[in-house]
Structure 1
Amino acid sequence: MLELEFMTIEAWDEALWARMERIYHEAFPRGAKTKAILRSMLDRGIGYLHTGVHHGEVVAMAVTGLVGNGADRMLIIDYLTIEQKLRGSGIGTWMLKQLRAWALREHGIKGIIIEAESGTTEAHQERIQFWQHNGFVLTSYVHQYSMVPEPYQAMMLSMDESTHVPDDGEKLFRYIQAFHKVAYRKS
């Protein structure tokens, strides 16, 4: 695997965004949060940008946010992508390890939550398998957003034995929706 440097950005950096924007739009060409929304999330202290950098080039990026308080604190991975030509090389797993270590060290999280498209295509199944390979548990509840055509399922990685993944996933979507509500708020 490539030698990478992990960085977390808490304040908007236009030059860094210019270096990561290409892989963000490559992975999420439709429906992803706009630059203005991402910038607002960082400006308001509710989101983080993370990068994996190889020889000055951004080859991996993630957008995260925190929800819950104290013993309920969870990290939401809103987006995670690897440069297309490097997928399957272990960088995604490396990024997850870096995100986990950062979130435990800086925020004492109890779990990491993601939402995965709930489809039957090969691409959908490969994404779910990636998360499962990295310890995430797929919940059975299928959530349908009113503004998005595809359904989603929540997945969670517990950080300790005392934090259990809910059986049906509806509780996890309450975390996800709370994060989205704050992320899309104007101020």
Structure 2
Amino acid sequence: MNIKTTDRWDEHLWHDASPLYMEAFQYKGAKPVNIIRNMFAQQIAELHVAYDESNAVGMALTGKLTKDRIMIIDYLAISRNEQNRGLGKAFVDALKQKARDEGYEQLIIETEAEETPDNKRRIHFWQSCGFHLTDYVHHYIWVPEPYQAMYLALLSDSRKMTGEELFVSINLFHQLSYRKVKKGRN
């Protein structure tokens, strides 16, 4: 698996990632493309596209809270045809290594909290990648489903995080994502 990463909007990479993104998230919380572009303009996002030979088989959109040394996996998708072959775990391992190499202390995600078979399967996947599920259930005012935070400490001496603490960072990332870019910034 070859992974291409960019911290700037790249139309070609987005063209490869977009079908995977829409397949996984179109009806489940996908951010509009203009917001994703804004995340790049804010310099708080990276797009990662995994290739098997020349075909895109996975994508991830990560958020960067560099001041807090936190990387958020905002979206991760593996092609339905390639699932259950270890690609998702290998992709997450590559993201973990990249985060460590760049000095991040935590990797965090949010996952749906409702106890459905799909949500349980997703939580189990993240746990198999080393993430810890927090007890706190967060209710957004703008989306109906509740969420929980999961984290992975990247340093051996990192302290255990609470869900409430993690959602402070997650909410900050979402606020930055939707904030308008000042003219003159790219």
What is the TM-score when the length of structure 1 is the normalising length? 0.92
Say yes or no: does 1:73 pair with 2:69.
Answer: yes
- 1:177 is aligned to 171
Question: How far apart are the structure 1 equivalents of 2:7 and 2:69?
Answer: 18
Query: 2: CA distance between counterparts of 1:68 and 1:142?
Result: 25
Map of 1:88 onto structure 2: 84
- Aligned with residue 142 of structure 1, among 137, 145, 168: 137
Can you give the 5+ residue segments of structure 1 that lack an aligned partner in the other structure?
none
1:43 aligns with one of 41, 44, 55: 41
Partner of 1:10: 7
The one of 61, 64, 71 aligned to 2:62: 64
Compare 126-135 and 7-16 and name the one that shifted more. Answer: 7-16
Number of aligned residue pairs: 180
Q: Deviations over 1:124-161 (max 9, x none)?
A: 00000001111100000000111111100000001122
Tell me if structure 1 keeps the 8 A contact 2:66–2:104: no
**Which aligned pairs between 1:93-104 and structure 2 lie closer than 5 A?**
93-104=89-100
Q: Is the 8 A contact 2:58 2:78 kept in 1?
A: yes
Structure 1 residue 156 corresponds to structure 2 residue 154: no
**C-alpha displacement at 1:68, in angstroms?**
5.2
TM-score between the two structures when normalised by the length of structure 2: 0.93
Q: Note the residue ranges of structure 2 that are not aligned, 5 or more in a row.
A: 182-186
Please tell me the root mean square deviation across aligned C-alpha atoms, in Å.
1.1
Alignment partner, residue 22 of structure 1: 19
Distance 1:165 1:148 in 2: 28
CA contact (8 A) 2:70 2:108 kept: yes
In structure 1, how many angstroms separate the alpha carbons of the residues matched to 2:117 and 2:125? 12
Counterparts of 2:141 and 2:123, CA distance in 1? 22
Residue deviations 1:164-184 (CA, integer Å, cap 9, x gap)? 222x41000000000000011
